[in-house]
Amino acid sequence: MPDLHFHWADEVAAALEGRGGRHVIETGTSISGVPHVGNASDVIRGDAVRKVLADRDINAELIWIADDGDPFRKVPKGMESLREYLGFPVYDIPDPGKCHRNFVDHFAKPFVADLEKYGVTPTVYSSIELYRSGKLLDEIEVALENRGKIRAILNGFRKTPLPEDYIPWSPICSKCGRISTTKAYGWDGDKIVSYVCSGVDPSTESKDLMDVSGCGHKGESDITKGEGKLPWRVEWAARWSNFKVTCEPFGKEHATVGGSYDTSKLISKEVFGWEPPYPVVYEFFTLNGEKISSSKGNVITLGDWLEICEPEVLKFFMYKRLQKQRDIKLDMIPNMVDEYDKGERIYFELEEEEAGSEEKHRRMYELSQVSQPQLLQVPFTLCAVLAQLPRVDIPRVCGRLETMGYDRVDCGRLERRIEAAGRWVEKYGPEQLKFRILENPESVAGKLSAQQIEGLVLLSKELGKRWKPEDFHKLIYNTARGIGLEPNGLFEAIYLSLINKVKGPKAASLILSLDGDFVKKRFMFFKQ
């Protein structure tokens, strides 16, 4: 593969190829609320690595695990009725919508279905079902037998050491159903772990969980029936060993010195005898300048994105340099699309990649594709204009765009972009871009000066020709100056006559998007 196209996913694949053998790329998501685009980032990025390995004829599988054995730590916004389930494994919480088997399915199933629309189809697992089916039983037994070694590894990264009787198992209380309030204190050397439901660990970062009390029950947890789980750092290493994971993308919080990855890789090597996976560490996304948070309601899901933009654009955004925090500004989606379209031009050799480009647009575009690449190159803002026109006829619009210089347009892609841009402009677009075609031109006739009307008439005479938007924009300027009118005055006349506003979308694009006979008739109307 040429160096020009070398991308972080290529670098990861090259390292994995050097490791040899079959590769498993693991990703996972804690289902504590609505899975959002931030949760999807490791799955979508992991799929880029899978794609590159496949291109190299290397056997690779992408897996996704719903971390549904984790305790329910925070009540998502709008789900206050679930407060009584704080501390339960999320798998055991009922579906708030009463349409799925449980809380997890309610959110995980749409998430996985949406991933497929992005061309990402991992093998899906449930963490708690791995325990209850016995798939992780060998690793659980190894962890319990090596509890002293695990304790020593964990203590190497802790200020407060774990007690001598530490047992790496988090039981689910058989009386109150919580997993956050139990403490294991004994193991019979076979399948039973003894525990007491005494309360939440005071070091927990969840303020909601701090209000949850243990029920005081003393009980027994059967490891063969999945009546509990391994603590996260042990579980992570156990999963690597069980699935033979060779690569894992994850956020930077796991990659801090002494963090989850540092700990789990030692447990993986020294306890389970498995070489830890190659880490693909990435920075977080923010949404509109703030942290993405289900509990605060500041989220956008994969499905939400599909309503307002193409999936490839989000993938392209995620495939940029990993070690940089990026903000998804919903009102700036046209800028994201413009950058994606630049990658498309480079891919189709309509533009050259800048020397030393860090973003490597061509490769990002190539990896982003859900299906066969198809050229479009119609700006998102122009599609937002087209979406607001009455009775949009796609074949006719394609023909009109061809006269504007947009050739080789794929009409299927155009229709999808127009639909998405229409929903975007309605919800997030600036007021200047929103409009409705004026039906009664007589209502604005008194607002136009004689010079403005003269300018409109002159423009109407040019409408039978083929124009590119940038050339027609210059024509507007030259026409205004030719009759001694400030250009802003002619632009205002155009907007008033067509949409009854003094400002609007790019005037040249608006005019050329409309039927030429309609515009000519409208401009000539004011000559009466």
Q: Within a domain: residue 517?
A: yes
- The torsion region of residue 478 among left (phi > 0), alpha (psi -120 to 50) and beta comes to alpha
Q: Determine, yes or no, domain membership for 79.
A: no
- Choosing from 408, 433, 458, the residue where a domain stops is 433
Q: Which of 433, 464, 496 lies at the terminal end of a domain, its last residue?
A: 433
Q: Is 428 within the bounds of a domain?
A: yes
Is 334 part of a structural domain of the chain? no
DSSP string, 323-358: SS-EEE-GGGHHHHHHHHHHHHHHHTTSSPPPTT-S
Q: How confident is the model over 36-72, as pLDDT tens digits?
A: 999 999 999 999 999 999 999 999 999 999 999 999 9
> Is the domain of 408 the same as that of 468?
no
Which domain does 426 fall in, by range?
Answer: 380-433
pLDDT of residue 358: 61
Kindly state whether residues 477 and 505 are assigned to the same domain: yes
Reported as a single tens digit per residue, the pLDDT across 372-401 is 999 999 999 999 999 999 888 899 999 999
| Residue-wise burial string across 518-527, b where 16 or more C-beta atoms lie within 10 A, e elsewhere | ebbebbeebe
Q: What pLDDT score was predicted for residue 203?
A: 61
Would you say residue 494 lies in a domain? Answer: yes
Please report whether residue 413 resides in a domain. yes
DSSP reduced 3-state for 278? strand
Same domain, 415 and 473: no
CB 9 within 8 A of CB 81: no
What is the per-residue pLDDT for 194? 98
- Picking from 370, 403, 433, the residue at the C-terminal end of a domain is 433
Residue at 137 is within a domain: no
Residues 427 and 450 in one domain: no
Do residue 509 and residue 447 come from a single domain?
Answer: yes
What's the rounded Cα separation, in Å, for the pair 37 and 313?
13
Q: Are residues 449 and 400 in the same domain?
A: no
On whether both 452 and 488 belong to a single domain, the answer is yes
Cβ atoms within 10 Å, residue 347: 20
Residue 428 shares a structural domain with residue 469? no
511 within a domain of the structure (yes/no): yes
Which residues of the chain fall below pLDDT 70? Answer: 1-5, 202-208, 356, 358-359, 528
CB 9 within 8 A of CB 52: yes
Instruction: Indicate if 495 and 450 belong to the same structural domain.
Output: yes
Same domain, 428 and 447: no
**Which CATH number fits the domain that encloses residue 502?**
1.10.10.350
What is the per-residue pLDDT for 3?
45
Angle at 45 between CA 41 and CA 48, to 5 degrees: 155
DSSP label of 308:
H
- Residue 57 burial (10 A CB sphere; 0-12, 13-18, 19+): exposed
DSSP track, 30-62? --SS---HHHHHHHHHHHHHHHHHHHTT--EEE
- Please report the pLDDT score of residue 443 as a whole number: 95
Task: Enter the tokens of residue 418.
Answer: 């127009």
Residue 521 and residue 467 share a domain: yes
Distance CA 429, CA 352 (A): 31
pLDDT in tens, 419-475: 999 999 999 999 999 999 999 999 999 999 999 999 999 999 999 899 999 999 999
How many angstroms separate the CA atoms of 10 and 56, rounded? Answer: 10
Please indicate, yes or no, whether residues 393 and 449 belong to a single structural domain of this protein. no
| pLDDT at position 1 | 39
In the sheet with 285-287, reading across from the earlier edge strand, the strands are 290-291, 285-287, 326-328
The domain total for the chain is 2
